[in-house]
Chain A
């Protein structure tokens, strides 16, 4: 027996023949609806950059506005106003693209901030467990138990008060309102993102490759960043896209309530546009004012959800292969 053990030295080619070769991965197509969703979101992003780059000025067309007021809203659609105008003569396409810019900035800033804060805390809680976990989980659960709408209103008013509205001009006022809403929504989103990240960190922290990394002398920080983060991050991409859609809806509701972006200023936001067109008379006389931004919001949120779902599907299948 020992004779075999001391003489057997497998030559690499022989060993290769003995090992089975794993089958090549087959890529499945994403499908037409997925690409439609990507095109829509991409188009919205492009249009906002186009507006920003060309300094497309807001021009008020009083004549067309008067047409809306007299009930002939269909007549306002023209080459100069492809999507018509509202009662005050503001071009809908202009309002829509500047609104999209604010909505997208808020959605992605919120998700990014939420992931950075909630993600870092969640990974720490999930990896170290014990007292760290107990304290962090207590605070996030406490945050979750507050009524979200009241909490947001409170946060925004606190942030507005501390910003000191007097020293900001209109332009800064806009930026700070986008920032205010993003910050408030990020605080609101943090607990749920914390929970998601914590749960998957716990799951991965028990996997053998984490122990294996420790047997090679990796510090906790290294294990978290290089071993667990890549595993946690990919499924979170999908969750982040879906969350971005959710944030857009909440942001729209805030604008609709008059506490979101552009409250009291000339700045556009989708929620604000819907609100302006939603008074009962306007809705009957000129449904385009409320319905076009509503449709844009709907399509964007649906697209983000769809892209997120597809990513999740794809990533889950890959997890199965592993």
Chain B
């Protein structure tokens, strides 16, 4: 099931094999992530797309092993830089955090400590991992803030998060995550809580930093438009499973899964006449305690037939295209070239 993303010869940095993450609740076991596998090469970007409750946020937290121990069932392998992370003890896995992988959270209002000054929040990781002195750490922090485009960085170091706007705070969150030079960055919906006007600058900043640092990135979002021009590969998730996985250009030109298509159709397009009704996906994501027996998207799928409702389709490659995987009995085959070019202005 592993996608050969390192066809370009780059070394795999992160390998996730059959990752399962279930939560024990009073009402039953919530199957949040169900057997997800992928490979990410050094310096490459994977976009994880899906609507709320598709398990995409749980996926990134599960890979980083941030979920609580109690009530969580976690299976499968996560191999980072040649190391099986679940075999590391607490001390060694802490050494990996910040230096190996880091994470940017959705809401900069909650991911910064409200009562701790920016400077200390930035330097904490540096002092912890590299044992540098305070003065050197502060100088590095100032440099970091400058690199993420924050004016008057020296002044900002002495301020508290509430003294800054949302866009500023997200820049600071990014600076903190980048402080120790991680090889892999998880960006968990980094722009969802921000104004539309700020979203693009933050995404560009992430792309720029990624290029400069040769860093791999997992960009989690519910917006196909966000990942369109910024990722090497896209994984579409639905109800805890990968339903389609392909290099970005292949996915956009030849999408196979009806869910991907439906997501794509629900992006508003500038070329549409005004007051055009936006297409939405009818229904809601399935209950993850008792997911449907067959294809999990079948109840909402316009193409579904009896087989779809009865049998779960496997993740298989498109004939002749080994790096394009999809999970469907009745794949769509529409040429979306026209749609792509029409969506481009909002896509970026």
Contact = CB atoms under 8 A, between A and B. Distances in A.
Contact of B114 (A8, A129, A130, A322): A322
Interface in A1-40: 1-6, 8-13, 15-16, 18-22, 25
Interface in A128-181: 129-130
B201 A18 contact: yes
B102 A209 contact: no
A15 B201 contact: yes
Nearest to A233: B115
Given A217-B125, A322-B114, A322-B161, A5 B197 contact: no
Interface stretch (A49-57, A223-231, A249-257, A301-309): A223-231
B115 A230 contact: yes
A209 B151 contact: no
A223 B306 CA distance: 53
B309 to A, nearest CB: 37
A211 B105 CA distance: 9
Interface string B144-181: 00100111000000000111111110010100110110
A297 B105 CA distance: 51
Interface stretch (B47-55, B90-98, B295-303): B90-98
Contacts of B211: 6
Given A8-B204, A322-B114, A212 B173 contact: yes
A215 B103 contact: yes
B347 A1 contact: yes
Interface residues of A, number: 44
B114 A319 contact: yes
Interface residues of B, number: 62
A284 interface: no
B93 to A, nearest CB: 8
B229 A230 contact: no
Contacts of A215: 64, 66, 97-98, 101-103, 177
A237 to B, nearest CB: 12
B16 to A, nearest CB: 17
A26 B274 CA distance: 44
A1 B176 CA distance: 29
Nearest to A222: B128
A322 B177 CA distance: 21
A286 to B, nearest CB: 52
B239 interface: no
A251 B101 CA distance: 55
A230 B113 contact: yes
A322 to B, nearest CB: 4
A219 B95 CA distance: 10
A10 B149 contact: yes
A16 B229 CA distance: 24
A75 interface: no
A20 B165 contact: yes
A4 B97 contact: no
A170 B225 CA distance: 82
A5 B208 CA distance: 8
A211 B201 contact: no
A160 B344 CA distance: 82
A4 B344 CA distance: 10
Interface string A72-112: 00000000000000000000000000000000000000000
B207 A5 contact: yes
Nearest to A322: B114
A207 B110 contact: yes
A217 B112 contact: no
Contacts of A22: 162-165, 168
A15 B149 CA distance: 7
Contacts of A259: none
A2 B347 CA distance: 10
A239 B229 CA distance: 53
Given A8-B204, A12-B151, A22-B162, A209 B229 contact: no
A322 B164 CA distance: 10
Interface in B182-198: 195, 197-198
A230 B124 contact: no
A1 B248 CA distance: 12
Contact of A216 (B97, B114, B207, B230): B97
Contact of A10 (B70, B168, B201): B201
Nearest to A229: B115
Interface in B311-348: 344, 347-348
Contacts of B107: 208
B213 to A, nearest CB: 14
Closest 8 CB pairs of A and B: A1-B229, A217-B97, A322-B114, A19-B167, A15-B149, A216-B125, A216-B98, A208-B110
Interface of B: 61, 64, 66, 70, 94-99, 101-103, 105, 107, 109-116, 124-125, 128-129, 146, 149-151, 161-168, 171, 173, 176-177, 179-180, 195, 197-198, 200-201, 203-205, 207-208, 211, 228-230, 344, 347-348
Given A10-B208, A12-B146, A22-B165, 12 more contacts: A1-B344, A1-B347, A10-B149, A15-B149, A22-B168, A208-B111, A212-B111, A215-B102, A215-B103, A216-B102, A216-B180, A322-B161
29 contacts: A1-B344, A5-B348, A10-B204, A12-B151, A16-B150, A18-B197, A19-B165, A20-B165, A20-B167, A209-B113, A211-B61, A211-B66, A212-B173, A215-B97, A215-B101, A215-B102, A215-B177, A216-B98, A216-B102, A216-B177, A216-B180, A217-B95, A217-B96, A218-B94, A218-B128, A230-B113, A230-B115, A234-B115, A322-B114
